Amino acid sequence: MTQTPWMSHYPSFVEPELAALPAAHLPEMVRTASSQYADTIAFTQCMPNGMNGSLTFKEVDELSDQFAIYLRETVGVTAGERVALQMPNCLSYPVAAFGVLKAGCVLVNTNPLYTPSEMIHQFSDSGATVLVVIDMFADRLDAVLPQTNIHTVVTTKIGEFFPPVIAGVIRLVQKVWNRSLPAITVEHTPFRDALKAGKSAAPSAQVGSYLDGVTADSVAALQYTGGTTGVAKGAMLTQTNLIANTMQTISMAGSFLRPGKETVMTALPLYHVFAFTLNLLSFYHLGARNILIPTPRPPSNLKRAFENYTVTWLTGVNTLFQALLKERWFQDSPPASLRASAAGGMALHTSVAKQWREMVGTPIVEGYGLTESSPVLTFNPLDGTARDGTIGIPVPSTLVRCVDDEGHDVPVGQAGELFAKGPQIMAGYWNKPEETAAAITDGWLHTGDVAEMDADGFFTVVDRKKDVILVSGFNVYPNEVEDQIAAVPGVLEVGVIGLPDEKSGERVEAFVVASHPPPSSEAIRAYCRTHLAAYKVPQRVTIIDELPKSPIGKILRRQLRSTATGEIATQSGSTDEKGSAK
């Protein structure tokens, strides 16, 4: 029987088990929130210079109805067809995403920065027939479409739904100054025209009939994962998976989430499952205002949004919080309205959490999850009992355990692969029954992460199973080494990997992005020697310009290893000199 010591550590406002879900499917949940908060602002897109546009809950509801009608009546898609969205955070995203769901179709979130080969794989694998794409990247479609099943392309603009004058200025800057608008040579329909077609094709009342065959177990989204460790696979997230995880997340936050009163900054991309569930679904359900940031890089892109809006919540990854802490404008005027911040996607360094609380004065807590779990599995309580360095305790209706290589539970305090079970666990991988069977056993998801559980039920992710470094038979976990190096003054970012070594099998190497002047390699290694066992101390520390990252800012160790065995590994001379890992 699975041990559940965390049950006694839930805050008083958290019920261990979820109550009945508030909706049978996501369109119903969207419709309810849209009605309840109709005339309040749902989304505001803020550009780096402060230019902005907004949509109310009622407008989002009506426009997404129109898009659903367009898909079903004009394009002729049927229930269950896959529709791909490929755009950054913008006002078109929620309209298109909710429209796809209302049409009874399956949403396929796609990174707008994907290369043609990555697009071909994802579109072909999912069988997507319709693509909604930001026009800035539509020049790739000539090479992509012939190798996919996509027959309809809808293009949208970054300034879609902005006031006409502001939208015109943005368009002019893109065309003349940035020259970021390529010619689109494939047949396409502008988003506004698609909405007009939907509006005239049928009354909004028609939309309800599109959901006649949609059940709690119907797939709502194909969320692709595994691209950093192998060929990307589509996790089938059902209506229940996403609604349950929405409610699990809201439950863990308790009174820190006030219906109709929150303003969340969405700097992470909505096409990523973290922001999709937390920022889009959870905060829409709560009637919050969502401040959409098209790109958080550089971090100064968030400055005007923090200045112009009363932001009460921020979600992000360690690298985003770390970058903000280094910004002078953020240091001079930390957001006074911020009530709490949630970190996920990668380990939150203890030093970053400490600096954030000292500078901002409000809680920052770490959670944990995977694409395959919609994504949240654990979350640190917001009642003051959060524990730095841990991923918290399982969210309601979720079981988590640590097992050895034979599948047996390991004792408390020992490391083992983290297994999880709950209503948020995916139905499986799209068209990959063998990989599904390998990932889920008797309802238990094998996460591939190595973790420990303490006596109170708080979990600590030691590292990715594939990232563990074996030095002379001893396990070295990169997260632990990175956490120590991150505390060295002058270190901005750090990535730790294992490389082959003739004597020890593998050796620990660290790659650091630093301020000027950078700390010396020996200073970093000396700090490690006082805080880590000798076999964990990096044999070499290389100062580089930039670490390879995923779209949400997660450091890609696999890519770093590949680069290290090539370009960086061949660099000669001192490890204190500025190198390059681009």
Contact 123, 150 (CB under 8 A): yes
What pLDDT is stored for residue 570 in this prediction?
A: 45
Whether pLDDT at 572 is above 60: no
What pLDDT is stored for residue 567 in this prediction?
A: 54
- Please write the tens of the pLDDT for every residue from 495-507: 999 998 888 888 9
| Lowest mean pLDDT, pick from 11-15, 139-143, 176-180, 221-225 | 176-180
- Overall average pLDDT of the 106-133 stretch: 94
- Please write the tens of the pLDDT for every residue from 311-346: 999 999 888 999 999 999 999 999 999 999 999 987
What pLDDT is stored for residue 230 in this prediction?
A: 55
| Lowest mean pLDDT, pick from 68-72, 415-419, 556-560 | 556-560
340 Cβ contact list (under 8 Å, min separation 6): 253, 256, 312, 313, 362, 363, 364, 365, 382
What pLDDT is stored for residue 545 in this prediction?
A: 93
> First CA to last CA across the chain, in angstroms?
48
Specify the pairing of strand 263-266 against strand 313-316. parallel
Helix segments in 291-364, DSSP class H = 303-308, 318-326, 328-332, 350-360
What pLDDT is stored for residue 401 in this prediction?
A: 97
Whether pLDDT at 473 is above 80: no
Mean pLDDT of the residues in the chain: 92
Whether pLDDT at 48 is above 70: yes
What pLDDT is stored for residue 1 in this prediction?
A: 67
- Overall average pLDDT of the 7-36 stretch: 96
- Please write the tens of the pLDDT for every residue from 427-454: 999 999 999 999 999 999 999 999 999 9
- Overall average pLDDT of the 152-158 stretch: 98
What pLDDT is stored for residue 535 in this prediction?
A: 87
What pLDDT is stored for residue 386 in this prediction?
A: 93
- Overall average pLDDT of the 466-494 stretch: 88
What pLDDT is stored for residue 227 in this prediction?
A: 45
Whether pLDDT at 170 is above 70: yes
- Overall average pLDDT of the 370-391 stretch: 95
Q: How far is CA 362 from the centre of its chain?
A: 22
Query: And the tokens for 136?
Result: 């800035």
Secondary structure class of 462 (helix, strand, coil): strand
| Lowest mean pLDDT, pick from 348-352, 374-378, 457-461 | 348-352
113 Cβ contact list (under 8 Å, min separation 6): 137, 551
What pLDDT is stored for residue 246 in this prediction?
A: 98
179 Cβ contact list (under 8 Å, min separation 6): none
What pLDDT is stored for residue 582 in this prediction?
A: 28
Measured CA to CA, the distance from residue 181 to residue 206 in angstroms comes to 36
What pLDDT is stored for residue 577 in this prediction?
A: 30
- Overall average pLDDT of the 13-27 stretch: 96
Residue written as token pair 């194909």: 222
DSSP letter for 72, please.
Answer: I
What pLDDT is stored for residue 35 in this prediction?
A: 98
Give CB contacts under 8 A, 24+ apart, made by 203-208: 204/62, 204/65, 204/66, 204/69, 206/69, 206/73, 207/27, 207/65, 207/68, 207/69, 207/102, 207/103
Task: Provide the Cα torsion 532, 554, 345, 160; round to 10°.
Answer: 160
Query: And the tokens for 135?
Result: 């026009």
- Overall average pLDDT of the 527-543 stretch: 92
Give the model's confidence band at 290: pLDDT under 50 very low, under 70 low, under 90 confident, else very high: very high
What pLDDT is stored for residue 476 in this prediction?
A: 85
Whether pLDDT at 82 is above 90: yes
Residue written as token pair 């002729």: 76
pTM: 0.87
- Overall average pLDDT of the 34-53 stretch: 98
**Domains of the chain, each with CATH number or no CATH:** 57-214 (3.40.50.980), 469-568 (3.30.300.30)
Give the model's confidence band at 553: pLDDT under 50 very low, under 70 low, under 90 confident, else very high: confident
Whether pLDDT at 153 is above 80: yes
Whether pLDDT at 204 is above 70: yes
